[in-house]
Structure 1
C-alpha cells in the first residue's frame, strides 16, 4: 500500500483494495444464502428453522467479529506510520484473543441456547431444526474467528486479494457440503436444514487452513513469522485491542441484532409463513448490503493508512468517495428490487403465500437501503480514525431506543403487522447515519487542529 498523491491515483488505490473485499463479502454471504435457499427447498419448517437459528447466531458472530476487526485499523496505522515491527505482536495477541472469545461463545451457547428457543415457543419441528443447526455450526466457531483475525491482518496491509482467493476457493466446498448434508447426496446423511450448520462449520475449517498456509507461502507476509515466532499472551495487549474492538463489536452487534430481534419477535407474534417471508427479504437485502459493507471495510483501511501517515486531506477525500459510492449503488439496486421482488422471492420458495408477503415487505425494505448504505460507509471511516466509542452510543440509541420500539409498536398495535418492524428499522438506520455524519465532521476538524501543517496538497 502507498500514499497516493493525486485524486486519480486515490481512486485507483481505493478500487484495488475495494473489489477483492467485495468479492470476499459476497462469497461469504453466499454461504448463508445457500443455507437459506437449499433449506427452503426442503420445506417451510426447515427454512424457518434455519432462519431462527441464523437470527440467534448472526448478532453473536458480527459482535465478536467486530471486536477482532480492531486489528485492521491497528495494522493499517502501523503500516502508514512505518512501524511494521509492531504488527507481529499485535496479530499474535489477536489470535489468542480469538480463541478465548470462541470458547466463551461455545460455553454460553451450551448453557442458554435451548432455554432461549424454548422461551420463544416455536413450533416443535422449527425448534428442533434451529437447535441442531446451531449445534452443527458451533464446531466451526474457533476456526471462523481465527481466520477472521488473519483476514483483518491481510486486509489491514491492503492485501485484500488474499482473502478473496481463499473465500472464493471455499464457496464451492460449502455448496457441495450443503447439497450432500441437506439432501443426503454423495452417501451423506439427509439432515435437512440441520445439515447446513455442519456444512458451514466444515467450510470454516477449510478457510482457516488456507489462511494459515498463506502466511508461509507469501514472501511479503512470511517475514512477520506468524505461527513460527510466538510471544507470551498479554492481558495489556488484549486490553488495548479490546478498547478499540469492544465499541466496534457492540456497534455492529446493535445493528445486526435489530434484524435478528425483528426475526425473533416475528417468530413469537406471527405464523411460520411470516417468518419465512421475513427471512427471504432479510436474506436478499443483506446480499445487496455486501457492496456498501465492502466499501466500509475498504474505507477503514485507506483512511487508517492515511491517518497513520498524517495525510488528513487524503482521508477526507477517501471518505467522501466511499460513502457516496455506497449510496449510489443501493439507489440503483432499489429500482431493480422494486420490479423483480416476486421473481427474487421465488428463488427461495415455491409457496405462493410466502412469496406474496415477501413482496410486500420488500417495498418497505427498499426504503431503508439508502440509510443503511450511508451509515455503513460513515462507520467505516470513523473506524479508520480509531474513533469508536461515541459511534457505539449512536448505534445503541438509533437502533434500540428508536428503531426497535417504534417497529414493535407499529407491528403490534397497527394494521401494518410485520411490515411495521421494517419501518422502525428504516427510522433507526436514518438516525444512525445522521449521528455518524455529525461525529465525522467533528473528528475531521479535530485532526486538522492537532497538526494543521500535515495537510498535504492534493490535485
Structure 2
C-alpha cells in the first residue's frame, strides 16, 4: 500500500485491494455450497445432516473467526505509522490467541454438541451424520483460526491477491477431497456427509500451511520476519486484541445467527415456502459478498491512513467505498428485478417454488440497499478501531427490532412468511442508519483531536 493524492489514485488502490478479496470471499462461500450439494448426491439423510451441521457451525465459526479480523486494523495502522518492527510480535500473539480459542471452541463443542442435537428432534440417521460431520470439522478448527490470523496479516499489507490465490487453489482441492471421501474413491471408504467434514479439515490445514510457507519465504513479507523470534505468550497483548476482536466477532455472530434462527422459524410453514426461502436467502447471501468485500478493503485502507494520521484521506476512502457499494447494489437489484424467475430456476424446477422464490427475491432487493450502506461503514469503523457500538447496534437492530417485528408479522398478520423478511429488512435499515450516525461521530472526534494536538 502507498499514500494516494488524487481520487483516481484512491479508486485504483481501493479496487486493487477489493477485487481479490471478493474472489476469495466467493470461493470460501463456495466450499460450504459444494459440501451441501455433494452430500445431497450421497443420500437425503447425508444432505440433511450436513445442512444441520453447517447451520450450527457457520454462525459459531464466523463469530469466533471474526475475532481475528482485529489483526487487520492493528497491522494496517502500524504500517501506516511506520512501526513495522512491532508487526511480528502482534501476528505471533494473534496465532497463540487463535490456538487458545480453538481449544475452547472444541472443548465447548464436546460438552454441548449432543445436547443441542437432541433438542432439535432429528431422526437418528440425520443426528449421527450431523454429529460426526461436526466432529470431523473440529479437528480443523486450529488450522482454520491460524489461517485467519495469517490472512488478516497478509491482507493488512494490501497483498490481497495472495489470499485470493490461496482460496482459489483450495476450492478445487476441497471439491476433489469431497469426491474421494464422500463417495469412496481410489480405495477410500465412502463416508457420505461425514466425508465433507473430513475434506474441510484437510483443506483448512492445506490453507494454513500454504500461508505459512508464503509468509516465511516470499520477499514481500521477509522484512517483517514474522517467525524469526519465539515470543512468550503476552496476556496484555491478548487483551488488546480481544478488546477489538470480541466486539467484531460478536457482531458477526449476531448477524449470522439471526438468519439461522429465521430459517428454523420458517420450518412451521409448508415445504414449498421453506425451499423458496432457502433459495432467496442463499442468493442474497452470495450477493452480500460484494459489500462484505468492500467492507474488508475499507478496513485495510482506512486503518493505513488513520495510522499515518491522514484523517482526510481516511474520510475520502470511507465515502468512496460507500458510493461504490451503493452503485454495485443498484446493479445487483436491477439484475434481481429483471431476472428473478431465471435466478429462482437455477435452484429448483418446481413451479410453486420458483414463483414463491421470486416473491422473496423482491425483498432481497431491499437487503442489498441496506447492506450497501451498513457493510462499508462497519469496515470503516474497524479501520478506526471503533467496534463496540457496531456490536451494540447489531444486537438492538437485529434481535431487538428485526426478529420480534418479523415474528409478530408472520404470526399475527396476513403476511405470513413474508413477515420475517420484512422484519429482517427493518433491522438492516435501522442498523444502516445507526452506523452512519456513528461514523459521523467518530470522524468528527478524529478531526477535533487532530485540531487540538
TM category (shorter chain) comes to over 0.9
Q: Establish whether residue 75 from structure 1 lines up as the match of residue 75 from structure 2.
A: yes
Task: Check the 8 A contact 2:87/2:226 in 1, yes or no.
Answer: no
- Distance in 1 between residues matched to 2:334 and 2:180, nearest whole Å: 36
Q: Give the match for residue 154 of structure 1.
A: 154
Alignment of 1:268-307 (within 5 A): 269-270=268-269, 274-307=273-306
Task: Check the 8 A contact 1:254/1:395 in 2, yes or no.
Answer: yes
Q: Establish whether residue 402 from structure 1 lines up as the match of residue 401 from structure 2.
A: yes
- Distance in 2 between residues matched to 1:160 and 1:280, nearest whole Å: 30
Alignment of 1:49-448 (within 5 A): 49-267=49-267, 269-270=268-269, 274-350=273-349, 354-448=353-447
Measured after TM superposition, the shift of residue 328 of structure 1 is 1.7
Measured after TM superposition, the shift of residue 227 of structure 1 is 3.1
Measured after TM superposition, the shift of residue 410 of structure 1 is 2.3
Task: Check the 8 A contact 2:277/2:360 in 1, yes or no.
Answer: yes
Per-residue deviation, residues 169-190 of structure 1 (Å, max 9, x unmatched): 1111011122233344444433
- Distance in 2 between residues matched to 1:349 and 1:181, nearest whole Å: 27
Over 3 Å counting, the alpha-carbon distance change for 1:357 and 1:135 in structure 2 is farther
- Distance in 1 between residues matched to 2:276 and 2:132, nearest whole Å: 22
Q: Equivalent residue of 2:231, what SS?
A: coil
What TM-score results when the alignment is normalised by the length of structure 1? 0.93
Q: Equivalent residue of 1:69, what SS?
A: helix
Over 3 Å counting, the alpha-carbon distance change for 1:43 and 1:336 in structure 2 is farther
Measured after TM superposition, the shift of residue 117 of structure 1 is 2.0
- Distance in 1 between residues matched to 2:434 and 2:91, nearest whole Å: 32
Per-residue deviation, residues 178-237 of structure 1 (Å, max 9, x unmatched): 223334444443344333222222111110110111012212312323333110001111
Q: Give the match for residue 457 of structure 1.
A: none
Q: Equivalent residue of 2:385, what SS?
A: coil
Measured after TM superposition, the shift of residue 114 of structure 1 is 2.0
- Distance in 2 between residues matched to 1:97 and 1:49, nearest whole Å: 31
Q: Equivalent residue of 2:142, what SS?
A: helix
State how many pairs are aligned: 453
Measured after TM superposition, the shift of residue 68 of structure 1 is 0.7
- Distance in 1 between residues matched to 2:253 and 2:18, nearest whole Å: 23
Task: Check the 8 A contact 1:55/1:261 in 2, yes or no.
Answer: no
Task: Check the 8 A contact 2:88/2:227 in 1, yes or no.
Answer: no
Per-residue deviation, residues 6-49 of structure 1 (Å, max 9, x unmatched): 11111111111111111111111111222233334455554443
Over 3 Å counting, the alpha-carbon distance change for 1:178 and 1:147 in structure 2 is same
Measured after TM superposition, the shift of residue 57 of structure 1 is 1.2
Over 3 Å counting, the alpha-carbon distance change for 1:251 and 1:376 in structure 2 is same
- Distance in 2 between residues matched to 1:353 and 1:53, nearest whole Å: 28
Measured after TM superposition, the shift of residue 73 of structure 1 is 0.3
Over 3 Å counting, the alpha-carbon distance change for 1:253 and 1:179 in structure 2 is same
Q: Equivalent residue of 1:401, what SS?
A: helix
Q: Equivalent residue of 1:189, what SS?
A: coil
Over 3 Å counting, the alpha-carbon distance change for 1:240 and 1:147 in structure 2 is same
Over 3 Å counting, the alpha-carbon distance change for 1:344 and 1:178 in structure 2 is farther
Over 3 Å counting, the alpha-carbon distance change for 1:250 and 1:218 in structure 2 is same
Root-mean-square deviation over aligned CA pairs: 2.1
- Distance in 2 between residues matched to 1:118 and 1:194, nearest whole Å: 18
- Distance in 2 between residues matched to 1:126 and 1:417, nearest whole Å: 29
Over 3 Å counting, the alpha-carbon distance change for 1:122 and 1:414 in structure 2 is farther
Q: Establish whether residue 11 from structure 1 lines up as the match of residue 11 from structure 2.
A: yes
- Distance in 2 between residues matched to 1:189 and 1:370, nearest whole Å: 47
Between 132-141 and 309-318, report the one with greater CA deviation.
Answer: 132-141
Runs of 5+ unmatched residues, structure 1: 455-459
Per-residue deviation, residues 96-146 of structure 1 (Å, max 9, x unmatched): 000011111111111112211221223444433333322222221111110
Over 3 Å counting, the alpha-carbon distance change for 1:334 and 1:126 in structure 2 is farther
What TM-score results when the alignment is normalised by the length of structure 2? 0.94
